Amino acid sequence: MSIPAPRPEPADTALAATPAGIEELRRLGAVTLDALAAGAAARGGPLPPGGPAAVARRVRRRCAPVLPDHGVGAEAALSTLVRTVTEGSADPADPACAGHLHCPPLALAVAAELAACALNPSLDSWDQAPAASALEEETTAALAALVYPGRTAPDALITSGGTESNLVALLLARERARRPQGPPVQVVCGANAHHSVHRAAWMLGLAPPVVVDCPDGRLGPDAVDRALADVPGPALVVATAGTTDAGLIDPLPELARVAAARRAELHVDAAYGGALLFSRRLAGRLDGLASAATVALDLHKLGWQPIAAGALAVADAATLAPLAVRADYLNAADDTDAGLPDLLGRSPRTSRRPDVLKVAVTLRALGRTGLGRLVEDCVDAAERLAGRIDAHPALRRRPGPCGISTVLFRPVAAAPDAAGDALVAEVRRRLLTEGRAVLGRSRAPDADGRVRLWLKATLLHPHVRGADLDRLLALVTDAVPAALRELAAQPGDAATGPAGRAHRPRPGAHR
């Protein structure tokens, strides 16, 4: 006879949205917040020092085994794991964490997320999400009206982000262009387009996109016109409003004109730049956006939402029809005939998180002007950073305008050759592994037209101050001497970079 396993403590299995669960959430919420505070204090900077091996070792030491035979209990597991993950996190709320389109979420949005998780509505059928689906309808209508003012029937889908938005946009374009025996739609995009555009074409069985060169980082209308002239069948031009590498906005009105003249459609990937629409001062930078058949937006970038918070706006709701699908258990015809909303056609996913709750709470709490102000603060911070770099004797900025809130620069000590690029890469890695700063990297042409490696600062921190910007630049210049010493000590030919290092598998790297 086997002994029955001990039951977990009743409190550890309380259900979140019950009265007992809400009390438990209050208690565990406090445990969680204490662990967040302790973990952040232990880290003490934007990133854990020591690099991947040190972080992985600490996680293993404290958190394994993750599936013990007998559990350690809610409080112990929460406090240890939350503290450990916090201590080992990249903190986008630290002004020196400016590498990616990785935003510090608003406390308000995170609070809404708690409720979303506790209620757990699933947006694939009305009977799992009565109010959440109604709120989603209101919210997507508001986002659609923001992108397509004055249009009679725009709509928007909530997505997991720019990648899914681009995938669905290409899918809808493929279906709109479908003709019996006709060629499939050909995607035409810039060399500056996000990699997810290429993956979407691949996943959808479309030909690889025709890639148009972008010597100045933006998609040129004349080059697109020439590319379209060579496409025999239907075409979709994918433009970018806010490139990931430089924050640049393609010339949307001109691209819309060229596309229309060639009877091609336009999709705009505004994952980064779409939030400029909130600012009346900056919205004009997106003129032409409403000419697009579809527009991708990401509120987990400029928008300050916890991931995920994407949207795909469509000019005409009728073009969403190809997403429709029947599953008797979710949207039986007699149910929809009787008036139950059919939600299944609003996403390629089935179970779907109520990401809309935090988005709606944020939009309503801050309003258009409040959000617009945060966007302006990031754009202004980037201009200030650019000005400081231009005035700095040891740094130089990539010539040309700065992106939405992206600034590319490198140390003056980096020579205009491969060794200089290696120095830029080493400075960035040094700042990462020492936990001092997170900067991105971007390859882009210099004044002489030659492509070089740049440090990329992506400013999504709306409360960054001048002193924070000065500190970030000081971290970079302070890292240069040690990076030069490190490179000099490495074997290998300086012209090809540190040989044998880039390709050696890194111990402790899991990805």
Kindly list the residues in this chain that would bind ligand PLP in the complex (CB under 6 A): 101, 161-163, 194, 196, 240, 242, 244, 269, 271-272, 298, 310
b/e string for 54-80 if b means 16 or more Cβ within 10 A? ebbeebeeeeeeeeeeeeeebbebbbe
CB nearer to ligand PLP: pick between 125 and 442: 442
Contact 423, 414 (CB under 8 A): yes
CB nearer to ligand PLP: pick between 245 and 421: 245
Q: Shortest gap between Cβ of 172 and ligand PLP (angstroms)?
A: 16
- The β-bridge partners of 189 are 211, 238
Q: Shortest gap between Cβ of 456 and ligand PLP (angstroms)?
A: 12
CB nearer to ligand PLP: pick between 86 and 196: 196
Torsion sign over Cα 467, 468, 472, 475: positive
Q: Shortest gap between Cβ of 242 and ligand PLP (angstroms)?
A: 6
CB nearer to ligand PLP: pick between 196 and 362: 196
CB nearer to ligand PLP: pick between 79 and 196: 196
Q: Shortest gap between Cβ of 43 and ligand PLP (angstroms)?
A: 24
Phi and psi torsions of 441, nearest 5°: -135, 150
Q: Shortest gap between Cβ of 301 and ligand PLP (angstroms)?
A: 6
Nearest alpha carbon to residue 441 among 395, 408, 469: 408
Q: Shortest gap between Cβ of 482 and ligand PLP (angstroms)?
A: 32
CB nearer to ligand PLP: pick between 188 and 271: 271
What is the chain's length?
A: 511
CB nearer to ligand PLP: pick between 292 and 414: 292
Q: Tell how far CA 27 is from the center of its chain.
A: 32
Q: Shortest gap between Cβ of 164 and ligand PLP (angstroms)?
A: 6
Q: Shortest gap between Cβ of 273 and ligand PLP (angstroms)?
A: 8
Q: Shortest gap between Cβ of 197 and ligand PLP (angstroms)?
A: 8
CB nearer to ligand PLP: pick between 271 and 480: 271
Phi and psi torsions of 440, nearest 5°: -90, 180
CA distance 69 to 59: 19
Q: Shortest gap between Cβ of 143 and ligand PLP (angstroms)?
A: 15
CB nearer to ligand PLP: pick between 147 and 483: 147
Query: What is the per-residue DSSP string for 180-232?
Result: TTPPPPEEEEETTS-HHHHHHHHHTTPPPPEEEP-TTSS--HHHHHHHHHT--
CA distance 121 to 354: 6
Contact 319, 339 (CB under 8 A): no
Q: Shortest gap between Cβ of 51 and ligand PLP (angstroms)?
A: 24
CA distance 375 to 373: 5
Helix 356-390 crosses helix 466-489 at what angle (to 10 degrees)?
70
Q: What is each CA distance from 231 to 167, 188, 189, 262, 327, in whole angstroms?
A: 21, 9, 13, 10, 38
Q: Scanning the structure block, which residue is given the tokens 């929809």?
A: 336
Kindly state the tokens that stand for 118. Answer: 């506790």
b/e string for 128-146 if b means 16 or more Cβ within 10 A? bbeebbebbeebbeebbeb
b/e string for 192-202 if b means 16 or more Cβ within 10 A? bbbebbbebbe
- The β-bridge partners of 310 are 159, 298
Kindly state the tokens that stand for 403. Answer: 């992106």
Contact 333, 324 (CB under 8 A): no
CB nearer to ligand PLP: pick between 162 and 420: 162
CB nearer to ligand PLP: pick between 308 and 418: 308
Q: Shortest gap between Cβ of 129 and ligand PLP (angstroms)?
A: 22
CB nearer to ligand PLP: pick between 89 and 331: 89
